[in-house]
Amino acid sequence: KSHKHHARYPKSLPWFPVIGSLLHLGSHLPPHIHFCNLQKKYGNLYSFQMGSRYVVIVNNHQHAKEVLLKKGKTFGGRPRTVTSDILTRNGKDIAFGDYSSSWKFHRKLVHSALSMFGEGTIAIEKIISREAASLCQTLISFQNNPLDMAPELTRAVTNVVCSLCFNTRYSRGNPEFQTMLEYSKGIVDTVAKDSLVDIFPWLQIFPNKDLSLLRNSVAKRDELLEKKMKEHKEAFCGETIKDLTDALLKAKLSTENNNSNIPQEVGLTEDHLLMTIGDIFGAGVETTSTVLKWAVAYLLHYPEAQVKIQEELDAKVGFERYPLLSDRRNLHYLEATIAEVLRIRPVSPLLIPHVALEESSIGEYTIQKDARVVINLWSLHHDADEWVNPEDFNPDRFLDKNGNRIYSPSPSYMPFGAGIRVCLGEALAKMEIFLFLSWILQRFTLEVPEGDQLPNLEGKFGVVLQVNPFKVIAKLRNVWKNIEIAA
Ligand code: HEM
Ligand code: PLO
């Protein structure tokens, strides 16, 4: 710090007073692609001013790893934004909450609760398989009719997190599930887009369509979360822990009775518990269902990949039983396809913005305290120095010449982030994606309905990279015509 006069700062986009670099960011392209293209002119680490905020964009894996791993704690903060404050009651959750003892504590709590109910237990495999069976039944009932799989995939995934969080599930057509679909769409369409309100907080005083949609959607979500919480409190006896909500309630009771070594200041308030569950529920549903939709869209574009997955399923799993998590180590082509989907269409192409908690550096550049650091995962996953023809969908890049899985063909791959802010649901998401896809493809061949176009692969940028709706025909494969499906 004594060398401040030697400090070098990342190259900055042209600056305009008041509106910052907004004009230069105004592009018809979605931000992750625009930020990727700006590298040609400004290099792979550059900055801009947006209103009063100083933003740094990171576009390569060396810098990304420095930020997330080597200096993870220094860059472990989160910005407060108008939209995420509405969603999380001013950052009382894990994903949008700033670095603090309370954040650390909730992260740990959820991590251990998830491993207790989810990862590594037979229970979770049973839960996912039950939903996979139910999904396959729905596909059967739509034989030869074009179906929008999105709500079906979403319900399957919702029921898995519902089981983990609340020990419940929804049947087809459940009105509460419909409400959830609706409010969640409202949130995904509006939250954390770094829309104008996030840059200019004073725009809040003007009527703003997005903002009121967000407020209404969040109110509906909170009503649902509060109802679940109330039911759990009433049924809670402190002995049997059935789900994540019980686990959180138990931790809260322990602090209140002072019979644990949980420090008081970690803030196990009702708000914190609700927002934590909101995160797991929201992240659990929106991310995993998005990956499944992308996978289906790509399989329609690449029927040869679908055939390869089915040949592998037929050879390694056969027709006498259902796919199991233990099949993961044998189904290399399916695993490679999933890895490739996560590469080519990362769910979270800009991660969640990080914030420098103190002055630091990235490479040879000084980064000032409070700078927002955005990791452009899209640039990492489409870096032509790291990937052969990065725009091509090619699962083989994750396989060696004997068809065995290569776990990391390039260091420029991190669909779940890395370091202290790494995704909490990675293991759960991977189990779900694997089981749902293997169940579906073991029984069905997915086809584009006659006369329909192939799904659009461009994606719609938001808090997750969304897929445009499309329809599918899920044709029962001949071998399965006379076999019953039961979990
Ligand atoms: C954070 C990816 C599924 C819970 C993140 C981040 C990414 C990510 C990129 C941000 C990392 C950062 O800002 O540096 C994904 C992908 C998923 C997925 C690709 C599905 C394939 C899930 C699931 C859950 C979950 C199923 C819940 C069970 C979270 C939470 C955070 C997070 C709580 C915030 C962590 C923090 O800020 O400390 N995820 N995620 N995710 N994810 Fe996931
Ligand atoms: C999705 C809509 C829900 O109604 C609320 C919600 C909570 C947590 C968010 C999630 C949304 C989107 C995906 C996020 C997740 C936390 C971590 C995850 C941002 C907004 C990712 C991919 O980073």
What ipTM was reported for this prediction? 0.99
Report which of 226, 251, 211, 240 is spatially closest to residue 107, judged by C-alpha positions.
Answer: 251
Ligand 1 centre and the CA of 352: distance in Å?
9
Q: How far is CA 332 from CA 55, 102, 298, 300, 420, in A?
A: 40, 40, 17, 20, 29
DSSP, residue by residue, 323-377: --GGGGGT-HHHHHHHHHHHHHS-SSTT-S-EE-SS-EEETTEEE-TT-EEEE-H
Which SS3 state, helix, strand or coil, does residue 130 take?
helix
**Ligand closest in space to the Cα of 97:** 1
Atom number, ligand 1, closest to the C-alpha of residue 97: 37
Ligand 2: residues with CB < 6 A are 95, 184, 187-188, 191, 221, 278-279, 282-283, 286-287, 347-348, 352, 463-464
What pairing do the DSSP bridges indicate for beta strands 354-355 and 45-50?
unpaired
Q: Could you list the pLDDT tens digit for every one of the 487 residues in the chain? A: 445 567 899 999 876 655 555 556 666 788 899 999 999 999 999 998 877 789 999 999 999 999 999 999 999 999 998 899 999 999 999 999 999 999 999 999 999 888 876 655 678 999 999 999 999 999 999 988 999 999 999 999 999 999 999 999 999 889 999 999 999 999 998 887 666 677 667 777 777 888 899 999 999 999 999 999 999 999 988 778 888 899 889 888 887 776 666 666 667 889 999 999 999 999 999 999 999 999 999 999 999 999 999 999 999 999 999 999 999 999 999 999 999 999 999 999 999 999 999 999 999 999 999 999 999 999 999 999 999 999 999 999 999 999 998 888 999 999 999 999 999 999 999 999 999 999 999 999 999 999 999 999 999 988 899 999 999 999 999 888 877 655 4
Q: Whose CA is nearest to atom 5 of ligand 2?
A: 282
- In the beta sheet, which residues pair with residue 446? 474
Atom number, ligand 2, closest to the C-alpha of residue 87: 5
The residues, ordered by sequence, that sit 6+ positions from 321 with a Cβ below 8 Å of its Cβ are none
Atom number, ligand 1, closest to the C-alpha of residue 78: 37
Give the pLDDT confidence score for residue 1 in this predicted structure: 46
Q: How far apart are CA 275 and CA 281, in angstroms?
A: 10
423 is in an annotated binding site: yes
Residues 350, 375 contacting (CB under 8 angstroms): yes
- In the beta sheet, which residues pair with residue 374? 57
Counting beta carbons within 10 angstroms of the beta carbon of residue 11, is it exposed (0 to 12), middle (13 to 18) or buried (19 or more)?
middle
Give the pLDDT confidence score for residue 3 in this predicted structure: 52
Residues 435, 132 contacting (CB under 8 angstroms): yes
Residues 449, 353 contacting (CB under 8 angstroms): no
Residue 89's region, left for phi above 0, alpha for psi from -120 to 50, else beta, is: left
Ligand 1 centre and the CA of 288: distance in Å?
10
Give the pLDDT confidence score for residue 263 in this predicted structure: 62
Mutate to test the pocket of ligand 1, among 423, 431, 434 (most ligand atoms within 8 A of CB): 423
The model's pTM: 0.95
Q: How many CA atoms lie within 13 A of 168 on its CB side?
A: 13
Residues 371, 12 contacting (CB under 8 angstroms): no
